[in-house]
A and B are shown apart, each in its own frame.
Chain A
Amino acid sequence: MNFAVLQFPASNCDQDAVHAIRMLGHSARLVWHKDASLGEADCVIIPGGFSYGDYLRTGAIARFSPVMQAVKQFADNGGLVLGICNGFQVLTEAGLLPGALIRNRDLQFHCEFVHLKTVTTDSPFTNQIPADKILRVPIAHGEGCYFADEETLANLKANNQILWQYCDATGNLTDAANPNGALQNIAGICNETRNVAGLMPHPERACEPLLGSDDGQFIFESIFAALKDKAVAPAA
Protein backbone atom coordinates (compact mmCIF):
# COMPACT_ATOMS: atom_id res chain seq x y z
CA MET A 1 0.00 0.00 0.00
CA ASN A 2 1.15 3.53 -0.76
CA PHE A 3 0.66 6.25 1.80
CA ALA A 4 0.99 9.94 1.00
CA VAL A 5 1.93 11.89 4.12
CA LEU A 6 1.42 15.63 3.64
CA GLN A 7 4.08 18.05 4.73
CA PHE A 8 3.19 21.66 5.53
CA PRO A 9 5.52 24.30 6.90
CA ALA A 10 5.66 23.39 10.64
CA SER A 11 4.26 19.90 10.30
CA ASN A 12 6.16 17.97 12.94
CA CYS A 13 4.67 14.48 13.01
CA ASP A 14 5.18 13.83 9.30
CA GLN A 15 8.36 11.79 9.81
CA ASP A 16 6.76 9.86 12.68
CA ALA A 17 3.86 8.87 10.42
CA VAL A 18 6.21 7.80 7.62
CA HIS A 19 8.28 5.81 10.11
CA ALA A 20 5.28 4.05 11.63
CA ILE A 21 3.81 3.07 8.23
CA ARG A 22 7.15 1.79 6.90
CA MET A 23 7.80 -0.11 10.11
CA LEU A 24 4.42 -1.79 9.67
CA GLY A 25 5.49 -2.97 6.24
CA HIS A 26 3.97 -0.45 3.83
CA SER A 27 5.32 2.30 1.69
CA ALA A 28 5.02 5.96 2.64
CA ARG A 29 6.34 9.15 1.16
CA LEU A 30 6.08 12.83 1.95
CA VAL A 31 4.08 15.13 -0.29
CA TRP A 32 4.94 18.82 -0.11
CA HIS A 33 2.03 21.21 0.47
CA LYS A 34 2.72 23.09 -2.75
CA ASP A 35 2.35 19.97 -4.87
CA ALA A 36 -0.91 20.01 -6.77
CA SER A 37 -0.93 16.23 -7.12
CA LEU A 38 -0.75 13.37 -4.62
CA GLY A 39 0.86 10.98 -7.09
CA GLU A 40 0.05 7.33 -6.62
CA ALA A 41 -1.63 7.00 -3.24
CA ASP A 42 -3.98 4.54 -1.57
CA CYS A 43 -4.36 6.63 1.56
CA VAL A 44 -3.52 10.19 2.60
CA ILE A 45 -2.28 11.04 6.09
CA ILE A 46 -2.46 14.66 7.22
CA PRO A 47 0.00 14.69 10.10
CA GLY A 48 0.23 16.61 13.33
CA GLY A 49 2.14 19.80 13.91
CA PHE A 50 1.48 23.49 13.74
CA SER A 51 0.96 24.09 10.03
CA TYR A 52 1.59 27.73 9.13
CA GLY A 53 2.35 28.45 12.78
CA ASP A 54 -1.32 27.96 13.69
CA TYR A 55 -1.79 31.54 12.46
CA LEU A 56 -5.36 32.84 12.44
CA ARG A 57 -6.79 29.46 13.54
CA THR A 58 -5.32 25.99 13.61
CA GLY A 59 -5.47 24.50 10.13
CA ALA A 60 -7.05 27.64 8.65
CA ILE A 61 -4.26 28.48 6.20
CA ALA A 62 -3.20 24.91 5.40
CA ARG A 63 -6.59 24.10 3.95
CA PHE A 64 -5.88 26.49 1.06
CA SER A 65 -2.60 24.77 0.12
CA PRO A 66 -2.51 23.44 -3.44
CA VAL A 67 -2.18 19.89 -2.11
CA MET A 68 -5.48 20.22 -0.23
CA GLN A 69 -7.36 20.62 -3.51
CA ALA A 70 -5.90 17.25 -4.52
CA VAL A 71 -6.87 15.78 -1.15
CA LYS A 72 -10.44 17.03 -1.53
CA GLN A 73 -10.69 15.41 -4.94
CA PHE A 74 -9.12 12.20 -3.60
CA ALA A 75 -11.67 12.15 -0.75
CA ASP A 76 -14.58 12.93 -3.10
CA ASN A 77 -13.54 9.87 -5.12
CA GLY A 78 -13.72 7.71 -2.02
CA GLY A 79 -10.00 7.72 -1.11
CA LEU A 80 -9.09 7.15 2.54
CA VAL A 81 -7.87 10.25 4.37
CA LEU A 82 -6.78 10.31 8.02
CA GLY A 83 -6.03 13.57 9.80
CA ILE A 84 -4.06 13.31 13.01
CA CYS A 85 -4.12 16.20 15.51
CA ASN A 86 -3.35 19.25 13.33
CA GLY A 87 -4.48 17.11 10.41
CA PHE A 88 -7.89 16.75 12.10
CA GLN A 89 -8.01 20.54 12.50
CA VAL A 90 -7.13 20.99 8.81
CA LEU A 91 -9.91 18.59 7.77
CA THR A 92 -12.56 20.44 9.81
CA GLU A 93 -11.39 23.79 8.44
CA ALA A 94 -11.53 22.35 4.92
CA GLY A 95 -15.11 21.21 5.51
CA LEU A 96 -14.15 17.57 4.90
CA LEU A 97 -15.19 16.79 8.47
CA PRO A 98 -17.97 18.50 10.45
CA GLY A 99 -17.43 20.63 13.56
CA ALA A 100 -14.34 22.45 14.78
CA LEU A 101 -11.47 22.06 17.24
CA ILE A 102 -11.19 24.90 19.74
CA ARG A 103 -8.92 25.85 22.62
CA ASN A 104 -8.67 23.27 25.42
CA ARG A 105 -11.08 24.22 28.18
CA ASP A 106 -8.28 24.72 30.73
CA LEU A 107 -6.22 26.79 28.22
CA GLN A 108 -3.30 24.38 28.76
CA PHE A 109 -1.32 22.43 26.19
CA HIS A 110 -1.76 18.75 27.03
CA CYS A 111 1.04 16.31 26.30
CA GLU A 112 0.15 12.99 27.90
CA PHE A 113 -1.20 9.50 27.33
CA VAL A 114 -4.99 9.17 27.15
CA HIS A 115 -7.35 6.22 26.90
CA LEU A 116 -9.68 5.81 23.97
CA LYS A 117 -12.87 3.88 23.58
CA THR A 118 -13.62 2.83 20.02
CA VAL A 119 -17.29 3.58 19.44
CA THR A 120 -17.68 1.57 16.25
CA THR A 121 -15.56 -0.90 14.34
CA ASP A 122 -17.62 -0.13 11.25
CA SER A 123 -15.07 2.12 9.52
CA PRO A 124 -11.85 1.75 7.54
CA PHE A 125 -10.03 3.23 10.54
CA THR A 126 -11.37 0.99 13.30
CA ASN A 127 -12.20 -2.40 11.73
CA GLN A 128 -9.21 -4.21 13.30
CA ILE A 129 -9.67 -2.85 16.81
CA PRO A 130 -10.86 -5.68 19.07
CA ALA A 131 -14.23 -5.10 20.72
CA ASP A 132 -13.85 -3.62 24.22
CA LYS A 133 -10.16 -2.88 23.63
CA ILE A 134 -9.23 0.39 25.33
CA LEU A 135 -6.47 2.08 23.35
CA ARG A 136 -3.68 3.91 25.13
CA VAL A 137 -2.36 6.64 22.85
CA PRO A 138 -0.68 10.00 23.47
CA ILE A 139 -2.09 13.46 22.81
CA ALA A 140 -0.15 16.70 22.34
CA HIS A 141 -2.35 19.69 21.63
CA GLY A 142 -3.62 23.05 22.83
CA GLU A 143 -6.68 23.17 20.58
CA GLY A 144 -8.33 19.79 20.73
CA CYS A 145 -11.71 20.56 22.22
CA TYR A 146 -14.19 19.19 19.69
CA PHE A 147 -17.18 21.42 19.09
CA ALA A 148 -20.20 21.02 16.85
CA ASP A 149 -23.67 22.51 17.01
CA GLU A 150 -26.54 20.36 18.27
CA GLU A 151 -27.79 19.43 14.83
CA THR A 152 -24.32 18.34 13.66
CA LEU A 153 -23.80 16.35 16.84
CA ALA A 154 -27.15 14.61 16.40
CA ASN A 155 -26.19 13.72 12.82
CA LEU A 156 -22.81 12.37 13.93
CA LYS A 157 -24.57 10.07 16.37
CA ALA A 158 -27.36 9.05 14.01
CA ASN A 159 -24.83 8.08 11.32
CA ASN A 160 -22.46 6.38 13.74
CA GLN A 161 -19.68 8.83 12.82
CA ILE A 162 -18.10 9.14 16.26
CA LEU A 163 -15.12 6.75 16.12
CA TRP A 164 -13.27 7.39 19.39
CA GLN A 165 -14.08 8.91 22.76
CA TYR A 166 -11.79 9.75 25.67
CA CYS A 167 -12.35 7.38 28.56
CA ASP A 168 -10.63 6.20 31.73
CA ALA A 169 -8.47 3.06 31.86
CA THR A 170 -11.55 0.88 32.30
CA GLY A 171 -13.57 2.46 29.52
CA ASN A 172 -15.80 4.86 31.42
CA LEU A 173 -16.55 8.13 29.64
CA THR A 174 -15.85 10.41 32.58
CA ASP A 175 -15.29 14.14 32.62
CA ALA A 176 -11.94 13.58 34.35
CA ALA A 177 -10.80 11.44 31.40
CA ASN A 178 -11.64 14.23 28.97
CA PRO A 179 -8.36 16.14 28.49
CA ASN A 180 -9.70 19.13 26.58
CA GLY A 181 -13.42 19.56 27.19
CA ALA A 182 -14.47 17.97 23.91
CA LEU A 183 -18.22 17.58 23.52
CA GLN A 184 -19.28 14.06 24.54
CA ASN A 185 -15.58 13.17 25.07
CA ILE A 186 -15.15 13.05 21.29
CA ALA A 187 -11.56 12.26 20.27
CA GLY A 188 -12.15 11.32 16.64
CA ILE A 189 -14.87 11.19 13.99
CA CYS A 190 -15.38 10.24 10.37
CA ASN A 191 -17.44 11.77 7.58
CA GLU A 192 -20.80 10.44 6.47
CA THR A 193 -19.26 8.30 3.72
CA ARG A 194 -16.73 6.95 6.28
CA ASN A 195 -13.63 7.45 4.09
CA VAL A 196 -12.34 10.58 5.85
CA ALA A 197 -11.48 10.51 9.55
CA GLY A 198 -9.73 12.72 12.05
CA LEU A 199 -8.56 12.27 15.62
CA MET A 200 -6.63 14.38 18.10
CA PRO A 201 -4.54 11.53 19.64
CA HIS A 202 -1.40 10.34 17.86
CA PRO A 203 -1.53 6.67 16.81
CA GLU A 204 1.74 7.09 14.87
CA ARG A 205 3.51 7.84 18.15
CA ALA A 206 2.22 4.65 19.70
CA CYS A 207 3.27 1.86 17.36
CA GLU A 208 6.22 0.46 19.32
CA PRO A 209 6.40 -0.82 22.90
CA LEU A 210 9.56 1.27 23.32
CA LEU A 211 7.39 4.38 22.98
CA GLY A 212 5.12 3.29 25.81
CA SER A 213 2.35 1.72 23.74
CA ASP A 214 1.80 -0.01 20.44
CA ASP A 215 -1.98 0.42 20.44
CA GLY A 216 -1.72 2.86 17.54
CA GLN A 217 -0.99 -0.13 15.34
CA PHE A 218 -4.66 -1.16 15.54
CA ILE A 219 -5.65 1.99 13.68
CA PHE A 220 -3.04 1.53 10.94
CA GLU A 221 -3.84 -2.18 10.66
CA SER A 222 -7.49 -1.21 10.17
CA ILE A 223 -6.52 1.03 7.25
CA PHE A 224 -4.33 -1.71 5.73
CA ALA A 225 -7.21 -4.19 6.01
CA ALA A 226 -9.67 -1.72 4.46
CA LEU A 227 -7.31 -1.03 1.55
CA LYS A 228 -6.75 -4.74 1.03
CA ASP A 229 -10.52 -5.33 0.87
CA LYS A 230 -10.83 -2.47 -1.57
CA ALA A 231 -8.03 -3.89 -3.74
CA VAL A 232 -9.73 -7.28 -4.07
CA ALA A 233 -13.25 -5.89 -4.49
CA PRO A 234 -14.56 -6.07 -8.03
CA ALA A 235 -14.48 -2.78 -9.89
CA ALA A 236 -17.73 -0.88 -9.57
Chain B
Amino acid sequence: MKAKIIITPKKAVLDPQGITVQTALEHMGYTGVTGVHIGKYIEIDLAPGTDKAAAEKALNDAAHKLLSNPVIEDYKLEME
Protein backbone atom coordinates (compact mmCIF):
# COMPACT_ATOMS: atom_id res chain seq x y z
CA MET B 1 0.00 0.00 0.00
CA LYS B 2 1.10 3.53 -0.74
CA ALA B 3 0.20 6.91 0.66
CA LYS B 4 0.64 10.04 -1.40
CA ILE B 5 0.79 13.43 0.24
CA ILE B 6 0.64 16.65 -1.74
CA ILE B 7 1.68 19.76 0.12
CA THR B 8 0.97 23.24 -1.24
CA PRO B 9 1.58 26.72 0.16
CA LYS B 10 -1.49 28.39 1.64
CA LYS B 11 -3.00 31.02 -0.62
CA ALA B 12 -2.14 33.85 1.77
CA VAL B 13 1.54 32.86 1.85
CA LEU B 14 3.93 34.52 -0.55
CA ASP B 15 5.16 31.88 -3.03
CA PRO B 16 8.12 33.47 -4.81
CA GLN B 17 8.95 30.23 -6.65
CA GLY B 18 5.43 30.02 -8.04
CA ILE B 19 5.49 33.66 -9.13
CA THR B 20 8.89 33.26 -10.81
CA VAL B 21 7.78 30.15 -12.69
CA GLN B 22 4.54 31.85 -13.73
CA THR B 23 6.51 34.78 -15.13
CA ALA B 24 8.81 32.38 -16.98
CA LEU B 25 5.82 30.58 -18.51
CA GLU B 26 4.41 33.91 -19.66
CA HIS B 27 7.76 34.85 -21.23
CA MET B 28 7.78 31.54 -23.06
CA GLY B 29 4.43 32.37 -24.58
CA TYR B 30 2.18 30.08 -22.54
CA THR B 31 -0.91 32.21 -22.17
CA GLY B 32 -3.81 31.90 -19.80
CA VAL B 33 -1.79 30.88 -16.74
CA THR B 34 -3.40 32.64 -13.81
CA GLY B 35 -1.39 31.09 -10.98
CA VAL B 36 1.45 28.69 -10.18
CA HIS B 37 1.83 27.18 -6.73
CA ILE B 38 4.87 25.09 -5.94
CA GLY B 39 4.68 22.53 -3.20
CA LYS B 40 5.96 19.08 -2.32
CA TYR B 41 4.99 15.53 -3.12
CA ILE B 42 5.72 12.78 -0.61
CA GLU B 43 5.21 9.10 -1.31
CA ILE B 44 5.12 6.71 1.63
CA ASP B 45 5.34 2.93 1.26
CA LEU B 46 3.34 0.94 3.77
CA ALA B 47 3.85 -2.67 4.80
CA PRO B 48 1.55 -5.23 3.13
CA GLY B 49 -1.56 -5.93 5.13
CA THR B 50 -1.59 -2.49 6.79
CA ASP B 51 -5.03 -1.45 7.96
CA LYS B 52 -6.01 1.34 5.58
CA ALA B 53 -8.21 3.33 7.93
CA ALA B 54 -5.69 3.20 10.78
CA ALA B 55 -2.85 4.16 8.42
CA GLU B 56 -4.86 7.07 7.07
CA LYS B 57 -5.50 8.34 10.59
CA ALA B 58 -1.83 7.97 11.57
CA LEU B 59 -0.64 9.70 8.39
CA ASN B 60 -3.03 12.60 8.87
CA ASP B 61 -1.50 13.02 12.29
CA ALA B 62 2.03 12.81 10.84
CA ALA B 63 1.14 15.24 8.05
CA HIS B 64 -0.13 17.73 10.57
CA LYS B 65 2.83 17.41 12.95
CA LEU B 66 5.79 16.88 10.65
CA LEU B 67 5.17 16.49 6.93
CA SER B 68 3.46 19.87 6.55
CA ASN B 69 3.51 23.07 8.58
CA PRO B 70 -0.14 24.09 9.03
CA VAL B 71 0.90 27.73 9.51
CA ILE B 72 2.01 28.03 5.90
CA GLU B 73 0.92 24.86 4.07
CA ASP B 74 -2.12 22.77 3.18
CA TYR B 75 -1.89 19.08 2.41
CA LYS B 76 -3.93 16.42 0.68
CA LEU B 77 -3.55 12.74 1.61
CA GLU B 78 -4.38 9.97 -0.84
CA MET B 79 -4.26 6.27 -0.01
CA GLU B 80 -3.93 3.69 -2.74
Contact = CB atoms under 8 A, between A and B. Distances in A.
Interface of A: 56-57, 60-61, 64, 92-93, 99-100, 102-107, 145, 147-149, 181
Interface in B2-36: 9, 12-14, 16-17, 20
Interface residues of B, number: 12
B71 A99 contact: yes
Contacts, number: 36
B48 to A, nearest CB: 26
B66 A103 contact: no
A181 B69 contact: no
Given A57-B69, A92-B71, A102 B20 contact: no
Interface majority SS on A: helix, strand, loop or mixed? loop
Given A61-B66, A147-B72, 18 more contacts: A56-B66, A64-B66, A92-B71, A99-B71, A100-B71, A102-B14, A103-B16, A103-B17, A104-B16, A105-B14, A107-B20, A147-B13, A147-B14, A148-B71, A149-B12, A149-B71, A181-B14, A181-B16
Interface of B: 9, 12-14, 16-17, 20, 66-67, 69, 71-72
A104 B14 CA distance: 9
B72 A102 contact: yes
